[in-house]
């Protein structure tokens, strides 16, 4: 799975590759937060990924 970061600044347009074939959701979330340098929280409506500027 690949996606392009929506962050601004030095992380802008960073391609993030995830190895998800044998990963559970918690591992995928951790890979996203580690590679993108962001935080996350789990809310009733879903997973919110955040940087210092705001939510994605």
pLDDT in tens, 20-31: 666 787 888 888
Q: How far is CA 6 from CA 10, 21, 22, 35, 44, in A?
A: 11, 24, 26, 13, 22
Whether 16 and 29 have beta carbons less than 8 Å apart is answered as no
Q: What is the model's pTM?
A: 0.50
pLDDT in tens, 1-55: 455 555 556 655 566 666 666 678 788 888 888 888 888 888 888 888 887 765 5
Nearest to 55 by CA among 33, 39, 31: 39
Predicted pLDDT at 35: 81
Predicted pLDDT at 5: 54
DSSP state of 22: T
């Amino acid at each position: 799975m690949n996606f392009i970061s929506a962050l601004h600044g030095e992380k802008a347009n960073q391609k993030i590759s995830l190895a998800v074939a044998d990963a559970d959701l918690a591992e995928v979330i951790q890979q996203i937060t580690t590679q993108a340098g962001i935080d996350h929280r789990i809310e009733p409506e879903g997973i919110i990924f955040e940087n210092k500027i705001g939510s994605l």
